[in-house]
Amino acid sequence: MTTVQKYALITGHGRSGTNWLLDIFNASHQTFCRNEPNEVHDSPCNQLHPLWHVTASMSDMDVSWDELAAYMASSMGERDHRLIAPKDYVHPLSQKLGIAYFPARPKILPALRVFLPPLRAGEWEMPWWIGDQSKLTQAYAVLKINQSARIAIWLLKNRPQVPVFHIVRHPGGRLNSWLNRFLAKRDIAYIKQRNRDRLREVLRISPEWCDIFGDIDAMSIAESEMWFWRYVTESIHRTGEGVDNYQLLLYENLAQDPMAIAQQIYQVCGLPWTKEIEGLIHQGTRRSMWGKVKDTPLSVAQAWRNKLKPEDVDAVNHVLRGSLMENWWSPL
């Protein structure tokens, strides 16, 4: 078995706080945070089955995962977040001059790729002018991989030393954000067909969901998105409930008290907590990857109630009814 440095997995759906959780971890000097390495075009993760596939046999994970985890935990990538705190593996001068941020800046990376061929790939070893690769392999790696039920379930069954942080947002809040932040910028016809094809694939590998889903072709795009959310979320939680390395986090609880949740996850990972970290996390509650946040995190978490169309609210309630998650947010 390949030896892998200490690491944790963040999983959940997009628009559910996975980026926020990764930034909380990124405030530590000791962490190395990877953002969606599976989405890099030439990622070796592509050799795995679709990451939301939940099947009885996971032979691809048995054979490949430890080597893949070691690779992801020691490589930088084009989707990674910029560093927000000094890191033990980054040269102080590189950090001070801002050089360490260059690969994480979309406007700068193309220019770097002209002169530095290794950066033309989607992932690369940390350049010598940023930091010490040998120290990087000693950092605590945090891998954020959305909708990764296959990975999460395999880790829960086979790697008890690896924390699996499963962050879940109320499907109403998640749907509202998805409609406005994701779907508004996409080809709606393509996404509608993709969602239906995805649910048909779920039925192929998990026929017991047939009676739960009902008529896939009759679903609205919101309904098909929510049913996929339920399948992935319920599959992970069903395996993780009662397992020591499973950490269920509700987005609304994070929005209510981010500092308490941050201290909790640092304790789980054995990471030291400092006033500096607390200050960075406090700053992070007032900004997002799109800029300054005008409202409080909690008001953002609850805004869906006044913004979703009545038919979408009905779809959310229908999907939640009878699920393992039905009572998680009562009386939110």
Could you list the beta-strand ranges (E) of the chain: 7-12, 31-35, 76-77, 123-124, 140-144, 164-168, 246-250, 287-288, 291-292
pLDDT tens string, the chain, 332 residues long: the values are 566 789 999 999 999 999 999 999 999 999 999 999 999 888 888 778 889 999 988 999 999 999 999 999 999 988 999 888 999 999 999 888 877 777 777 777 777 787 777 778 789 888 898 999 999 999 999 999 999 999 999 999 999 999 999 999 999 999 999 999 888 888 999 999 999 999 999 999 999 999 999 999 999 999 999 999 999 999 999 999 999 999 999 999 998 899 999 999 999 999 999 999 999 998 876 654 434 445 566 666 677 888 899 999 999 999 999 999 999 987 55
Report how far Cα 78 is from the mean position of its chain's Cα atoms. Answer: 16
Q: Compute the distance between CA of residue 142 and CA of residue 145 in angstroms, rounded to an integer.
A: 10
Q: Compute the distance between CA of residue 274 and CA of residue 277 in angstroms, rounded to an integer.
A: 5
Whether residue 144 contacts residue 18, with contact meaning beta carbons closer than 8 Å, is answered with yes
pTM for this one?
0.92
DSSP letter for each residue of 39-101: GSTT-GGGGSSPTT---S--HHHHHHHHHHHHHHTT-EETTPPPP-S--TTB-HHHHHHTGGG
The domain ranges of the chain are 7-320
Fold of 7-320: Rossmann fold (3.40.50)
Residue 240 tokens read as 């993780």
Beta-strand relationship, 291-292 and 123-124? unpaired
Hey, what amino acid is at 121? A
